[in-house]
């Protein structure tokens, strides 16, 4: 049974998702003027964060907060904080592409203990709690069981503007493409991880990522039986800005390729 905290997170994600879906329909009409659509998306994004913050901070006023739009706020309880991306996949949203999500994680003593990634356009609610498994719309999910790189699909991302990570990612691609079934770059890190958790992708990696993009997805993958580490294995993937995730069988060979030049 979901904890009270997870229920609060699910409710907030649904509410924000509803507001975003309404705005998404508008943005599809606004595509003719990308600048206009850009301003509109910024407002949609802020409104979604406002909705989530009101719910989460209203229910747990003593927890800390970090959100993509409103930044960091310490709480009276220094051990717990919400990590929130109200709209992961902003560029997809801006272009009318239905691949974006609300991402909410609860961190306790530096570890993610509850996670929600809500793909509102497809009404897929990915959830996990530490020790209780991972789910989509209440159905249990597991990472894939694929054992061969050549039959596996991997996802990656490139942060806006490259953030200096592009040469390394291009090197990764040139090494991975010939030995796998392919690489996807779909533009929403939280969903890349949710798709690894549900066995749709076999692995995911990215350099230059932010904590709010990956915090919830990290727990989804772990609770679905997969592995998640920072590309530099000694670092914490939530804070280090780099991540490699995969199913249990392929994690080692996959991570070795990604790490071979780091
Ligand atoms: C971005 C997406 C994208 C990833 C970038 C992120 P945003 O998040 O998750 O897939 O490659 O690194 O910044 O800006 O759309 O919330």
Interface predicted TM-score (ipTM) of this complex, two decimals:
0.95
Residue 229 marked ligand-binding: no
What is the CB neighbour count within 10 angstroms for residue 26? 12
Q: What is the pTM of this model?
A: 0.95
Secondary structure (3-state) at 245: strand
Number of H helices, E strands in the chain: 8, 13
Cα 124 to the center of its chain, rounded Å: 13
Q: In the numeric block, which tokens belong to residue 28?
A: 């599809």
Q: Does domain 4-141 have CATH number 3.40.50.300?
A: no
> What are the residue boundaries of the structural domains of the chain, listed by start?
4-141, 149-259
Distances (CA, A) of 78 to 39, 50, 73, 89, 219: 35, 22, 11, 30, 21
Residue the block writes with tokens 């804070």: 239
Residue 47 marked ligand-binding: no
Cβ(157) – ligand 1 distance below 6 Å: yes
**Lowest-confidence region among 63-77, 156-170, 179-193:** 156-170
Instruction: State the Cα–Cα distance between residues 165 and 149, nearest whole angstrom.
Output: 24
Mean pLDDT of 126-143: 98
- For strands 139-141 and 134-136, give the pairing: antiparallel
Cβ(41) – ligand 1 distance below 6 Å: no
Q: Which residue has the higher pLDDT, 94 or 98?
A: 98
Residue 192 marked ligand-binding: no
By CB neighbour count within 10 A (0-12 exposed, 13-18 middle, 19+ buried), where does 204 fall?
buried
Residue 59 has pLDDT above 70, yes or no: yes
Q: In the numeric block, which tokens belong to residue 92?
A: 């997809």
Residue 247 has pLDDT above 60, yes or no: yes
Cβ(213) – ligand 1 distance below 6 Å: yes
| Second-level CATH architecture of 149-259 | 3-Layer(aba) Sandwich (3.40)
Cβ(188) – ligand 1 distance below 6 Å: yes
Atom of ligand 1 nearest to the CA of 208: 12
Q: From ligand 1's centre to the CA of 103, what distance in Å?
A: 12
Q: How confident is the model at residue 233 (pLDDT cuts 50, 70, 90)?
A: confident
Q: In the numeric block, which tokens belong to residue 90?
A: 């902003």
Instruction: State the Cα–Cα distance between residues 175 and 247, nearest whole angstrom.
Output: 19
Residue 161 has pLDDT above 80, yes or no: no
pLDDT at 33: 52
Q: pLDDT tens digits for 14-52?
A: 999 999 999 998 877 665 555 556 667 788 999 999 999
What is the CB neighbour count within 10 angstroms for residue 32? 7
Q: From ligand 1's centre to the CA of 1, what distance in Å?
A: 31
């Amino acid at each position: 049974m979901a904890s009270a905290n997870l229920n609060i997170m699910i409710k907030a994600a649904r509410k924000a998702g509803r507001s975003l879906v309404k705005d998404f329909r508008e943005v599809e009409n606004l595509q003719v003027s990308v600048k206009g659509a850009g301003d509109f998306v910024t407002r949609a994004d802020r409104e979604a964060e406002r909705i989530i913050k009101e719910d989460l901070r209203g229910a747990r006023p003593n927890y800390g907060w970090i959100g993509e739009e409103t930044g960091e706020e310490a709480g009276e309880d220094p051990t717990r904080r919400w990590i929130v991306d109200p709209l992961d996949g902003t560029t997809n949203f801006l272009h009318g592409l239905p691949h974006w999500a609300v991402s909410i994680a609860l961190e306790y003593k530096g570890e993610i203990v509850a996670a929600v990634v809500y793909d509102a356009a497809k009404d897929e609610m990915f959830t996990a709690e530490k020790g209780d498994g991972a789910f989509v719309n209440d159905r249990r999910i597991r990472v894939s069981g694929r054992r061969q790189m050549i039959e596996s699909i991997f996802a990656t991302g490139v942060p806006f503007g490259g953030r200096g990570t592009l040469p390394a990612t291009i090197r990764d691609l040139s090494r991975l493409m010939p030995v796998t079934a392919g690489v996807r770059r779909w533009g929403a890190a939280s969903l890349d991880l949710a798709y690894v958790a549900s066995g749709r992708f076999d692995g995911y990696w990215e350099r230059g990522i932010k904590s709010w993009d990956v915090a919830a997805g990290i727990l989804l993958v772990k609770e679905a039986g997969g592995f998640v580490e920072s590309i530099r294995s000694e670092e914490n993937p939530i804070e280090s800005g780099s991540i490699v995730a995969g199913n249990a069988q392929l994690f080692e060979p996959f991570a070795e390729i990604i790490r071979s030049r780091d």
